[in-house]
């Protein structure tokens, strides 16, 4: 598959402004950065008079439906979407846009790929990847400003959530001075940091706590205490009636263990596949993006993932062995 043409932020803005009808996509199992970026771009484009459709293979997670504009996020309905431009946000691999979204947008003549993952495959017609940005939401703020699009209240709040969630509340190493400046600009525009942060970080369903209890019961330390991991099987998921976002960011808890360099979450999926989510304390200790690439995944140096065919025990063994080799 050939790579798309790299474009500057100004060129990406030109493509948006030239399109009358735009469809906005994000990755499967969307997080705050994906959904926040989708809502923000769509809201600004709508305010500028564009026709906009927002599609996500899995829809908007329950934990993010408090965002104004979340009702715009739809699952693909099977029919083809008529648009001049398709924008893929925060999605490193075309396949992670989802089969339904790809089918619905197959006839759209141009795809603009905007992302911050260093492992991005550079798919699409136009590509703007800024691996130095800690969140796609940060790129979107700059893009909306560059294009002169309105920063609506919906866009403002969604961008704050997008940036906050992908920077761990503005504390991960990838956070830059510009990140804080953008945060300040969003606050000056009226974003309520306290209220938004409370909705994101202090509002969990009880089943998330039940999940944490189960995961702590299977917590393992390997590689001389440098790797912490836990695994979630299908039986537990079914027993607790878990939703995909119930496990979001739980792995950060075990990464915080003193002496641990890498934390790993293994989740058994239906169909004989395991989802692996990996976090590292420092790239010097372990670049988890490089580790995940060996299993067909990718992401960032400190946060990456992969989907691997096989059973839970077999996959976890292979992955932990690979991490041990890296640390050694």
Report the Cα–Cα distance between both ends of the chain, in Å, rounded. 35
CA torsion, ordered 174, 260, 228, 318, to nearest 10 deg: 80
The percent of residues in the chain predicted with pLDDT above 70, rounded, is 100
Two structure tokens written together for 327: 């640390």
pLDDT given at position 1:
60
Residue pair 136/14 in contact by the 8 Å Cβ criterion: no
Rounded to 5°, angle at Cα 99 from 26 and 137 = 5
Q: Say if residue 66 is in the same domain as residue 159.
A: yes
In this predicted model, what pLDDT tens digit does every residue of 129-146 receive, in sequence order? 999 999 999 999 999 999
Q: The pTM is what? A: 0.89
Instruction: With cut-offs at 50, 70 and 90, classify the pLDDT of residue 283.
Output: confident
In this predicted model, what pLDDT tens digit does every residue of 157-169 receive, in sequence order? 999 999 999 999 9
Mean pLDDT of the chain: 96
Q: What is the domain count for the chain?
A: 2
Q: Say if residue 37 is in the same domain as residue 143.
A: yes
Select from 142, 170, 201 the last residue of a domain. 201
DSSP letter string over 108-130?
-S-EEEEE--TT----SSEEEE-
Select from 170, 201, 232 the last residue of a domain. 201
CATH label of the domain that carries residue 217:
3.10.310.30
Cross-strand partners of 128? 114
Q: Say if residue 176 is in the same domain as residue 37.
A: yes
In this predicted model, what pLDDT tens digit does every residue of 226-261 receive, in sequence order? 999 999 999 999 999 999 889 988 999 999 999 999
295 has pLDDT over 70: yes
In this predicted model, what pLDDT tens digit does every residue of 74-118 receive, in sequence order? 999 978 999 999 999 999 999 999 999 999 999 999 999 999 999
Q: Report the candidate in 217, 194, 27 with the shortest Cα–Cα distance to residue 114.
A: 27
The residue range of the domain holding 31 is 5-201
Rounded to 5°, angle at Cα 319 from 318 and 325 = 90
């Amino acid at each position: 598959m050939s790579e798309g043409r790299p474009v500057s932020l100004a060129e990406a803005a030109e493509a948006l402004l030239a399109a009358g009808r735009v469809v906005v996509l994000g990755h499967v199992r969307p997080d705050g950065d994906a959904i926040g970026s989708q809502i923000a771009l769509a809201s600004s484009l709508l305010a500028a008079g564009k026709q906009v459709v927002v599609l996500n293979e899995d829809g908007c997670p329950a934990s993010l439906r408090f965002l104004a504009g979340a009702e715009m996020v739809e699952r693909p309905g099977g029919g083809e979407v008529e648009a001049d431009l398709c924008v893929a946000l925060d999605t490193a691999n075309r396949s992670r846009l989802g089969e339904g979204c790809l089918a619905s947008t197959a006839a759209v003549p141009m795809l603009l790929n905007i992302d911050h993952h260093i492992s991005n495959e550079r798919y699409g017609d136009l590509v703007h990847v800024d691996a130095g940005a800690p969140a796609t939401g940060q790129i979107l703020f700059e893009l909306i400003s560059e294009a002169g699009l309105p920063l609506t209240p919906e866009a403002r709040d969604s961008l704050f959530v997008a940036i906050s969630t992908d920077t761990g509340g503005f504390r991960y190493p990838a956070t830059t001075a510009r990140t804080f400046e953008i945060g300040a600009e969003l606050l000056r525009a009226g974003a309520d940091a306290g209220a938004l942060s409370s909705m994101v970080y202090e509002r969990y369903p009880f089943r998330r706590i039940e999940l944490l209890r189960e995961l702590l019961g299977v917590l393992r330390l390997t590689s001389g205490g440098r790797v912490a991991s836990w695994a979630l099987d299908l039986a537990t998921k079914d027993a607790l009636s878990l939703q995909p976002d119930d496990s979001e960011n739980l792995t950060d808890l075990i990464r915080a263990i003193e002496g641990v360099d890498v934390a790993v979450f293994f989740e058994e999926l239906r169909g004989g596949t395991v989802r692996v989510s990996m976090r590292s304390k420092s790239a010097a200790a372990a670049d988890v993006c490089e580790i995940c690439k060996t299993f067909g995944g990718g992401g960032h140096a400190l946060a990456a993932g992969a989907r691997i065919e096989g059973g839970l025990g077999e996959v976890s063994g292979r992955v932990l062995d690979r991490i041990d080799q890296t640390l050694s």
